[in-house]
Amino acid sequence: MRVGLFVPCYVDQFYPNAAISTLNLLKKLGVDVYYPQNQTCCGQPMANSGYEHLTKNCNSLFIENFAEFDYVVSPSGSCVLHVKDHLHDDKREEDALKVRCKVYELVEFLTDILKVKEISASFPFKVGLHQSCHGQRGLHLSSMTELVDVPFSKPLQLLNQVKGIEMIELTRPDECCGFGGTFCVAEEAVSAKMGKDRVEDHLLNGAEYITAADMSCLMHMEGILKRQNSKVKVLHIAEILNAES
């Protein structure tokens, strides 16, 4: 099985550790993983702003980079969802469809494809899990409080295998952090307020770290935590699943 690692543009530039952990974790689990060097972005920032028609180049580039792999794996639920829902290419529509079917967010790749039952990681801290909306409601990484459904959580299924970790409960387990792509500046007041409220929930419930399967939400919450001079840190879930102590 050959796996292509898709590293979202902002993760590549600002959060290389999340990508390195993803790569190392996959390797540790015996996956034959490659990083195509010519990748850039899934096009979501433009599409969510109403400019999906400008994403054609990003789409072609994406297909060019990832068509050859059996699976495409990425440490971002939001970007994966975008690819799954919106990857098209007039010249290579069949390939686009294939990529849409084989792209996986890291957590679901571990639980559903690799069926990981044991993770050798240790992280003796109190951790709050932020349910990123696109991973949760879009990719169904976990059950949702709105729906009448059997409760499950793929991220927790993995985090609970980490030695020493203590997962905290949140008062509102799956509320949005308010990042929302360009929403974070276009609707600055509401976005920042949502971020503050989300961070507050983790702080009140005693989190030492906030984690998520999506770095963009964490970037937003990190910005707020830092402004408050908080000691609480954010870590991508791959960094915890890969943590040795």
Partner 1 sequence: MDKLNTLKHSELSDLFNKDEERVNWHDDTLWWIRAKRDKAAHGISEWELLRETASQIKNNVLSNLYNYLIEFESKAQANGIKVHWAANAEEHNKIVLSLLQSKGINQMVKSKSMLTEECHLNQYLEDNGIDVIDSDLGERIVQLAKEPPSHIVLPCIHKKKEEIGQIFHENLGTEAGVSDPQILTETARIHLRETFLTRKSALTGVNFAIAETGEFVVCTNEGNADMGAHLADIHIACMGIEKIIPKKKHLSVFLRLLTRSATGQPITTYSSHFKKPRKGQEMHIVLVDNGRSIQLGREDFRNSLKCIRCGACMNTCPVYRRSGGHSYHNAIAGPIGAILAPNLDMKEYADLPFASTLCGSCTNVCPVKIDIHDQLYKWRQVIVKEGNTTVAKTIAMKVMDFTLSSPTRFKLAGKIGRWTLKHAPFTVNNQFNLWFKNREMPEAPKESFSEWYKRNNTEK
The stretch among 19-27, 118-126, 152-160, 204-212 that binds partner 1 (CB under 8 A) is: 19-27
Smallest gap from residue 20 Cβ to partner 1 (A): 6
Within positions 189 to 228, which residues make up the interface with partner 1, using CB under 8 A?
A: 189-197, 219-220, 222-224, 226-227
Using CB under 8 A as the binding criterion, the count of chain residues that bind partner 1 stands at: 74
Angle at 19 between CA 15 and CA 21, to 5 degrees: 110
Residue 28 to residue 115: CA distance in whole angstroms: 14
Q: In the numeric block, which tokens belong to residue 72?
A: 């495409």
31 lines the binding site for partner 1 (CB under 8 A): no
Query: What is the SS3 assignment for 134?
Result: helix
Smaller CB distance to partner 1: residue 11 or 162? 11
Residue 116 to residue 227: CA distance in whole angstroms: 37
133 lines the binding site for partner 1 (CB under 8 A): yes
Smallest gap from residue 146 Cβ to partner 1 (A): 4
Q: Which of 19, 80, 207, 232 binds partner 1 (CB under 8 A)?
A: 19
Residue 12 CA, distance from chain mean position: 13
61 lines the binding site for partner 1 (CB under 8 A): yes
137 lines the binding site for partner 1 (CB under 8 A): yes
Q: What are phi and psi of 14, to 5 degrees?
A: -115, -25
- Is the separation of the CB atoms in 120 and 242 below 8 Å? no
The stretch among 95-103, 119-127, 154-162, 171-179 that binds partner 1 (CB under 8 A) is: 171-179
Q: For 95-197, where are the E strands, in sequence order? A: 103-105, 126-129, 166-167
Residue 134 to residue 194: CA distance in whole angstroms: 16
Smaller CB distance to partner 1: residue 37 or 245? 37
230 lines the binding site for partner 1 (CB under 8 A): no
